[in-house]
Amino acid sequence: MSSKRKEYNYFNNLKFMLREHWSFDKSYVLLQIGLTPLGALTSVVAAYLPKIVLDCVESRSEISDLLIKVGVMSAVLIVFSYLQGVLQNKSWTGRMLARDILLHRLICNKVMSMDYNNYTYNETRVLREKAWNAIHGWDGSVARFIELNCTAASSFFGFSAFTAIIVDCNPWFIPILILCYGISMLGWMIFQKWKDKMKDKVAEIFLRLHYVTYRSKDFSNAKDVRIYNMSDFLMKKIDKHLDDANGWNILRNNGHYFNCMLEDVFKFGVSIAAYIYLIHLKLNSDMTLGDFSLYFGAITGFGQWLARLVDSISEIISGAHNVSDFRSFLDIEDKMNKGKGEKLPCGNELPCAIELKNLTFSYDEAEKPSVDNLSLKINKGERIAVVGVNGAGKSTLVKLICGLFIPQDGQVLINGVDSRLFNRDEYYELFSTLFQDCSLLPATVAKNIALCEENKIDRDRLRECMRLAGILDKVESLPQKENTLLVREVHEGAVAFSGGELQRLLLARALYKDAPIIILDEPTAALDPIAENDMYLKYSELTKDKTAIYISHRLSSTRFCDRIILLDDAKIAETGTHEELLALGGKYAEMFETQSKYYREEAVV
């Protein structure tokens, strides 16, 4: 994935987040706007309340006059504080909903909709991890970006109001305070710049940690972990990556605490200086106690609002970088055609003919191609077996044919039309596939096979596909038959299938789709020899009126195909029927003889 990263500026990121939040929850945006002036107004009222009380006491005002003034100001303060608390609570709830629903949905949708080719790149995995960290980061996260901007605006209002009060006392306080807090701001900016510089490295650290911890918890690995005593090895890996992650957290926390300490030192110094100066004014001028209280509150409040403004700007800068990380993942460019494409073959044009012209493909950061300048013609309705040792390029080849991978060079032609000219998602409709690493949905057996809503499932067709796949008897034995739920991790009381039963169920899924091209990647790997032979006998019925590509490492199965393609070192080494390749006496014959030898030895035993 070598496409140049997009650049995002602050205003572009703000516009993006406002649009997404507004489409998801308009009230959240309105709440932030409502909160913006409340904090400043509340602080100003709180600063003037002691002045009013002290001035009334010092001037010996009537008690009724004092109670009215204090009562009005207190009522205003209580109303403002209450409103602020209510709105902040609702704002927090809205932010959590936005994070857990809106932002997660955007990431999940991107993961499931992007070109599969992009999904396999290491750069994509790093971008995905950075996008995930941007949502859940402890500072400046994407979910808080609008809130941070409104906090900055509120801080500016408060800063401006307290500046006006201080100017009335002594305008020279302003540059002195700005200088003191400016040094603190510089420290935070340096710290933030360092964190941004470390983002790629940190994302890789947590990507490795998440991978190892996920594998250690994955149920499918539980048997191997115990039988082969892998727990010590995995724990050492986990400890190493935890140490790396903890090392980063310590560095980050130390930087954070240092800047907090620097900020507190300046706050303490400013407060002491303000006390000394105001005491001097009180003793040598006609300053009232109310003015003393107001000015001191304004000076300390000025520092708090300036610090809050500085923090908000720092967090906005961090948040803008996080939004950019988030959008960088969402904006990974798909190269396959997602617009209008060529019309899919239909009617008399079926089944499809497939032609590969000088096809070349290399995996991300691979030293050599997995498919190298390969050319092949597959006729309409032909049943092809692709065989070869592990790593020969068999699975890669079929993923290129069905449009999951984009070749670096060459073409895949369907009935003479370049596959890249079809709409990507429409093109997938041409294929029924059974890959080695398919998975189940947390739904009923019927929905797992039909992959559509329950009320749209063709029950007769469902039963026929289960019969052909050899899973009907098993499903009929279940208490709720095809309505039985799968995946125990999600549904209590769900049924678990054996490896062979799962493979048959997934074969039924491929048959139900009834696409003109069927691709079966090791469909009998988990079956016993009797079940495997039963499937071979049904192979003609399974692939009737379809162009079929069958991948297997068991060469005894290839005799049921019209032609065999032997891949070796990313190229076609031999091609022909089972009998022709045996007569040729090449690599296929050698592999078949080796496998037959083991079968004969097992039979003798």
Give the tens place of pLDDT for each residue, 417-464: 999 999 999 999 999 988 877 778 888 999 999 988 888 899 999 999
What is the predicted pLDDT for the residue at 602? Answer: 47
Percent of the chain, pLDDT > 70? 92
pLDDT interval class at 376 (50, 70, 90): very high
280 — pLDDT class (breaks 50, 70, 90): confident
Tokens of 517: 């091209």
Lowest-confidence range among 95-104, 267-276, 349-358, 403-412?
Answer: 267-276
490 and 548 belong to one structural domain: yes
Mean per-residue pLDDT, 17-28: 89
C-alpha 130, offset from chain centre: 9
Alpha helices in 228-333 (DSSP H): 231-284, 289-330
- Mark whether 289 and 351 lie in a shared domain: no
pLDDT in tens, 239-260: 888 888 888 888 888 887 887 7
Flag whether 428 is in a domain: yes
Confidence of residue 43 (pLDDT cuts 50, 70, 90): confident
Answer yes or no: is pLDDT of 267 > 80: no
- Kindly give, in sequence order, each residue whose CB lies less than 8 Å from that of residue 366, ignoring residues fewer than 6 positions away: none
Better-predicted residue by pLDDT, 465 or 235? 465
Based on the domain organization, do 314 and 178 belong to the same domain? yes
Residue 605, pLDDT above cutoff 50:
no
- The average pLDDT across 189-217 equals 76
- φ, ψ of residue 377 to 5 degrees: the values are -115, 130
**What does the alpha-carbon distance between residue 347 and residue 389 come to, in Å, rounded to a whole number?**
38
Element (H, E) at 545: none
Least confident of 100-109, 340-349, 436-445, 478-487: 436-445
CA distances in angstroms from 530 to 332, 526, 537, listed in the order given? 47, 12, 11
Q: What is the pLDDT of residue 317?
A: 83
Predicted pLDDT of residue 217? 67
CATH of the domain at 59: 1.20.1560.10
321 and 371, same domain (yes or no):
no
Confidence band, pLDDT 50/70/90 cuts, at residue 4: low
pLDDT at residue 133, as a whole number = 83
In a domain, 71, yes or no: yes
State yes or no: pLDDT of 604 exceeds 70.
Answer: no
Residue 211 and residue 73 in one domain: yes
| Range in 55-64, 108-117, 342-351, 494-503 the model is least confident about | 55-64
- The mean-pLDDT minimum among 101-110, 238-247, 327-336 falls in 238-247
**pLDDT band for position 222 (50/70/90)?**
low
Q: Which CATH number goes with the domain that contains 391? A: 3.40.50.300
In a domain, 54, yes or no: yes
Cα separation of 20 and 258, whole Å? 36
In a domain, residue 35? The reply is yes
In this predicted structure, the answer to whether residue 341 has a pLDDT above a threshold of 50 is yes
Report CA 425 to chain centroid distance, whole Å: 21
Q: Are 558 and 552 in contact (CB under 8 A)?
A: yes
Q: Domain boundary at 275, 295, 330, which?
A: 330
pLDDT at 388: 86
Tell me the average pLDDT across 581-591.
90
Are 409 and 274 in a shared domain?
no
Q: Is residue 39 part of a domain?
A: yes
Question: Which of the listed residues 295, 330, 365 is the one where a domain comes to its end?
Answer: 330
Q: With a cut of 60, say whether residue 52 has pLDDT above it.
A: yes
Most trustworthy range by pLDDT among 47-56, 202-211, 410-419: 410-419
Which is more confidently placed, 202 or 26?
26
Cα 292 to Cα 172, 174, 176, 594: the distances in Å are 17, 17, 19, 98
Segments forming the whole domain that contains residue 87: 10-330
Which is it for strands 517-521 and 431-434: parallel, antiparallel or unpaired? parallel
* Tokens coding 536: 């071979």
Same domain, residue pair 365 and 319: no
Q: Which of 45-54, 349-358, 446-455, 580-589 has the lowest mean pLDDT?
A: 45-54
Check pLDDT > 80 for residue 178: no
Residue 337 domain flag: no
Burial of 51 (0-12, 13-18, 19+ CB in 10 A): buried
Are 255 and 369 members of one domain?
no
Please report the sign of the dihedral spanned by the C-alpha atoms of residue 354, residue 356, residue 357, residue 361. Answer: positive
Q: Considering its fold, how many domains does the chain have in total?
A: 2
**379 and 307 both lie in a single domain:** no
Of 301, 330, 359, the last residue of a domain is 330
Q: Are residues 151 and 298 in the same domain?
A: yes
Q: Are residues 286 and 420 in the same domain?
A: no
pLDDT at position 527 is 66
100 secondary structure, DSSP code: I
Any idea how long the chain is?
Answer: 605
What's the mean pLDDT when you consider all of the chain?
83
Report yes or no on 3 lying in a domain: no
Collapsing DSSP states into helix, strand and coil, what is residue 10? helix
Same domain, 192 and 304: yes
Q: What percent of the chain has pLDDT over 90?
A: 23
Q: Which residue in the block uniquely carries the two structure tokens 């997660």?
A: 104
**pLDDT score of 5:** 54
**Model pTM?**
0.74
**What per-residue confidence (pLDDT) applies to 148?**
87
Q: Which of 90-99, 181-190, 555-564 has the lowest mean pLDDT?
A: 181-190
- 569 in a structural domain: yes
- What is the crossing angle of helices 26-58 and 10-24, to 10°? 100
